[in-house]
Amino acid sequence: MKYDFTAIEQKWQNRWEEQKLYCATTGSDKPKFYGLIEFPYPSGAGLHVGHARPYTAMDVIARKKRMQGYNVLFPMGYDAFGLPTENYAIKNHIHPRIVTENNVKVFRSQLKALGYSFDWDREINTTDPGYMKWTQWIFLQLYKNGLAYKAKMPVNWCTSCKCVLANEEVVDNVCERCGSPVVRREKSQWMLRITRYADRLIDDLDDVDYIERVKIQQRNWIGRSTGAEVNFAATTGDVITVYTTRPDTLFGATYMVLSPEHALVEKWMPQLTNAEEVQKYQAEAAAKSDFERSELNKDKTGVELKGVRAINPVNGKEIPIFISDYVLSTYGTGAIMAVPAHDTRDWDFAKAFDLPIIEVVGGGNVQEEAFTDVETGIMVNSDFLNGMEVAQAKEAIIAWLEEKGIGHSKVNYKLRDWVFSRQRYWGEPIPIVYCDKCGEQPLNESDLPLLLPDVESYEPTDDGESPLAPMTDWVNCTCPKCGGPARRETDTMPQWAGSSWYFLRYMDPHNEDALASKEALEYWSPVDWYNGGMEHTTLHLLYSRFWHKFLYDIGVVPTKEPYAKRTSHGMILGEGGEKMSKSRGNVINPTDIINAYGSDTMRTYIVFIGDFEKACSWSSDAVKGCKRFLDKVWNLSENVVPGEEYSPENETLIHKTIKKVTEDIDSLKGNTALAQLMTLVNQFSGGCNRAEFRTLLQLLSPFAPHICDELWEVHGFEGICSVSQWPVYDENKCRDALVDIAIQINGKFKGTMQLAADLPQEDVIAAAAANETVLRNVEKIGGKIVKTIVVPNKLVNVIVK
């Protein structure tokens, strides 16, 4: 019989779907397992191998869990709002909804062709009105709880997308998505107060099982630092508040620096003797992009504010005040006290402007370089702090500042509030209206979802207005409070909105009265295992944790954290180790591989390709190797003899294999699990019995489910392989009766000897002493055996002197 993978795969995919074999049941008594992967953005290019890697890995886990008796929720959906769809729609004059529908169709058929065990009854799409309704509902709750607010502020504006971006979407001052330059614009924007959750987003990382680099990256992004705010008096009578993490070095503050945008600079302008020079510097700084500002970070520039001085509150000394663009207006208070002796940047500036450097922490040579070590230093030149260690001095000075009422301890974050407005058409409209009488008003929940107007044209505008703004039929509405005339908010939500809670919708996707029922949320929460890309660590992953915590606070969800475990996959590179890209022409289309070798081969290769967490390059030859392996399994099927028990010559290897496959799948090492299965199949090359073949099919089933279900049926085993009960192993049967013991002479490997397993140590030593290899080497060295080290069942090391 021929291995007709196309027919077999089609047959089983149909059967799985008809029988709803992989559908999850809320409330089942079985233990639950919720495995999640990031749902795709249905782009016009279709599914690529980058999707297939994490999807296949989680499918293998889900399939194994199911066979182990878990009630498995493994869902799929589409994150379908977004710019590429909108741009494509504009260019080709098709409505984005149609574009989305077409793309989703392609994605769905590709996903099905890969044989994933998704619960297709729970498929979701973020652009469905029934889904959008709850995205908008969550926004209203955020609004009502003071976490969504409108603010006029400088924002990142992508010159190509003609749209505002969140800080997280700007990489090296270009748009993360399209690579076009990002400029600053002053705009009124909807913001989400993610900063209110900064502490919990850091602290609760201790309670979840995320791979370490994800935790580190999130902590760094939130960027919590503890220090103090200190008030300096200016000679004008104004107060300059600074933020510092080193209040202990206050005695070493020899000048101050304000950011060029600091409000006091404007206030003081009339009394500055060098106002012109100051204004020129401000103008230069404003003209520079953030990129240029940080590019030029080698040489410190700045201008002294002549005519104003500050007083160091600890010693009453007058010190000069500068403006410089190395002080950021957006962090802390936009002003610093400069301690050149103990801060590298201040040191550079002091050298450039010839300012005094006063050592206040001993241990370095501050005339040569800034001494920033906080572990070893002892305070000097600091009055009542002298002799203390840095940590001690921090506490003492903060106490002193608080007592005098001129400072207090303070925690700062790099994290900023989330810019939530986008000036595009293809997103969820923000459910707010503006009434002349009542002002800003949220829509009534009963009026959700607020749908997009169905129009012909929705080109982005250059003036920063949403394309929805000119659609007066839609914009003009009535005020939900007074019923008078009102106008709708015309900005839409970012793509991150729908994906911030989608994992909850899977739990109860058709619910019309709530985002999901209490029962479903209680039963399925939290997601047990979430795998996704590192690129989402400070975007989607952080955003969704924020939303989830908020939903927890208002009693909607039962857990503080959405995901119990997070892992991440490496990229699949092209054949030569280069990134796959259209321009290089090295993109692998999963459909081509499926057509040529079958989905089981594709799946097997994707798992076998290498370490899941590392980048791997695609190899067309190695794909064939996996096809060969499945061919061998297929051919083995014709050499299966009767036998309901494992035969003695295969028993140990089978138990070992069950053990290895079971453990390796759980630790994302499908590559070595498959290697072990290949070893087993190689051992079976002459044939195997029914019991052995049955176990092989079960172990291979998570990786190559179609061929296994088919052969299972061909051999008349009961039920369906992919939902049969996972085989168990006996630890005692995982060991060979005879073992090869390595022989080392003085630590060098010389050969092996075969002994019975678990022999007492004395017997092993005796066997070694009598061993030919040992005797020969002892003689050669011309010494005596002084010691023998035995590692049970592994090795003996004979020390000869």
Partner RNA sequence: GCGAGAGUGCUGGAACAGGUAGACAGGCACGUUUGAGGUGCGUGUGUCGAACGGCGUGUGGGUUCGAGUCCCAUCUCUCGCACCA
- Per CB under 7 A, contacts with RNA among 242-281 are 242-246, 259
Output 577 or 783, the one with its CB closest to RNA.
Answer: 577
- Based on the shown chain and the rule CB under 7 A, indicate whether residue 517 belongs to the binding site for RNA: no
- Based on the shown chain and the rule CB under 7 A, indicate whether residue 200 belongs to the binding site for RNA: no
Q: Which two tokens stand for residue 427?
A: 């997103």
Q: Which of 195, 752, 778, 785: binder of RNA (CB under 7 A)?
A: 752
Cβ pair 564, 34 in contact under 8 A: no
Smallest gap, in angstroms, from Cβ of residue 676 to RNA? 8
Letters for 562-591 (x = contact with RNA by CB under 7 A, - = none) are ---------------x--------------
Output 142 or 541, the one with its CB closest to RNA.
Answer: 541
The sign of the dihedral angle between the CA atoms of 181, 183, 188, 191 is: positive
Quick one: residue 115, left, alpha or beta (phi over 0 = left, psi -120 to 50 = alpha)? left
- Based on the shown chain and the rule CB under 7 A, indicate whether residue 740 belongs to the binding site for RNA: yes
The sign of the dihedral angle between the CA atoms of 789, 791, 792, 796 is: negative
Cβ pair 725, 69 in contact under 8 A: yes
Smallest gap, in angstroms, from Cβ of residue 797 to RNA? 4
Q: Which of 145, 639, 682, 725: binder of RNA (CB under 7 A)?
A: 682
> DSSP class of residue 203?
H
Q: Of 290, 313, 266, 321, whose CA–CA distance to 157 is shortest?
A: 290
Query: Which residue stretch of 87-95, 586-594, 614-622, 722-730 sits at the interface with RNA (rule: CB under 7 A)?
Result: 614-622
Output 187 or 669, the one with its CB closest to RNA.
Answer: 669
- Based on the shown chain and the rule CB under 7 A, indicate whether residue 622 belongs to the binding site for RNA: yes
Preceding amide of 431 cis, omega within 30? no
Letters for 277-316 (x = contact with RNA by CB under 7 A, - = none) are ----------------xx-xx--x----------------
Q: Which of 345, 481, 690, 733: binder of RNA (CB under 7 A)?
A: 345
CA dihedral (533, 538, 541, 542) in degrees, to 10, reads 170
Q: Give the Cβ contact number of residue 246 at 10 Å.
A: 22
Cβ pair 124, 132 in contact under 8 A: no
Q: Of 174, 158, 156, 176, whose CA–CA distance to 166 is shortest?
A: 156
Q: b/e per residue, 362-383, with b = 16+ CB within 10 A?
A: eebebeeebbeebeebebbebe
Q: Which of 178, 183, 205, 328: binder of RNA (CB under 7 A)?
A: 328
Q: Tell which positions 414-443 bind RNA, by CB under 7 A.
A: 414
- Based on the shown chain and the rule CB under 7 A, indicate whether residue 319 belongs to the binding site for RNA: no
Nearby residues of 639 by Cβ (< 8 Å), 6 or more positions away:
686, 687, 688
Cβ pair 720, 620 in contact under 8 A: no
How many degrees, rounded to 5, is the angle at CA 761 between CA 760 and CA 763? 70
Output 303 or 674, the one with its CB closest to RNA.
Answer: 674
Query: Which residue stretch of 7-15, 240-248, 357-365, 581-589 sits at the interface with RNA (rule: CB under 7 A)?
Result: 240-248
Smallest gap, in angstroms, from Cβ of residue 620 to RNA? 7
Secondary structure in 3-state letters for 749-779: EEEEEEEECCCCHHHHHHHHHHCHHHHHHHH
Letters for 13-42 (x = contact with RNA by CB under 7 A, - = none) are ------------------------------
Letters for 363-402 (x = contact with RNA by CB under 7 A, - = none) are ----------------------------------------
- Based on the shown chain and the rule CB under 7 A, indicate whether residue 744 belongs to the binding site for RNA: yes
Q: Which of 30, 437, 614, 801: binder of RNA (CB under 7 A)?
A: 614
Q: Of 246, 250, 259, whose CA–CA distance to 326 is shortest?
A: 259
Query: Which residue stretch of 78-86, 264-272, 395-403, 612-620 sits at the interface with RNA (rule: CB under 7 A)?
Result: 612-620
What residues pair up with 432 in beta bridges, in sequence order?
442
- Based on the shown chain and the rule CB under 7 A, indicate whether residue 522 belongs to the binding site for RNA: no
**Backbone dihedral angles phi then psi of residue 576, each to the nearest 5 degrees:** -90, 10
Output 430 or 658, the one with its CB closest to RNA.
Answer: 658
Cβ pair 307, 280 in contact under 8 A: no
Using CA atoms, how far apart are residues 332 and 259, in angstroms rounded to an integer? 11
Smallest gap, in angstroms, from Cβ of residue 718 to RNA? 30
- Based on the shown chain and the rule CB under 7 A, indicate whether residue 616 belongs to the binding site for RNA: yes
Smallest gap, in angstroms, from Cβ of residue 36 to RNA? 22
Query: Which residue stretch of 39-47, 540-548, 668-676, 725-733 sits at the interface with RNA (rule: CB under 7 A)?
Result: 668-676
Q: Which of 277, 553, 631, 713: binder of RNA (CB under 7 A)?
A: 631
Nearby residues of 700 by Cβ (< 8 Å), 6 or more positions away:
633, 677, 707, 708
Output 110 or 244, the one with its CB closest to RNA.
Answer: 244
Q: Which two tokens stand for residue 468?
A: 């929805």
Query: Which residue stretch of 29-37, 214-222, 540-548, 713-721 sits at the interface with RNA (rule: CB under 7 A)?
Result: 214-222
Query: Which residue stretch of 76-84, 237-245, 304-312, 424-432 sits at the interface with RNA (rule: CB under 7 A)?
Result: 237-245
Q: Which of 125, 382, 412, 421: binder of RNA (CB under 7 A)?
A: 412
**Backbone dihedral angles phi then psi of residue 765, each to the nearest 5 degrees:** -60, -45
Question: In 3-state terms, the chain is what percent helix, strand and coil (to 5)?
Answer: 40, 20, 40
Letters for 154-173 (x = contact with RNA by CB under 7 A, - = none) are -----------------x--
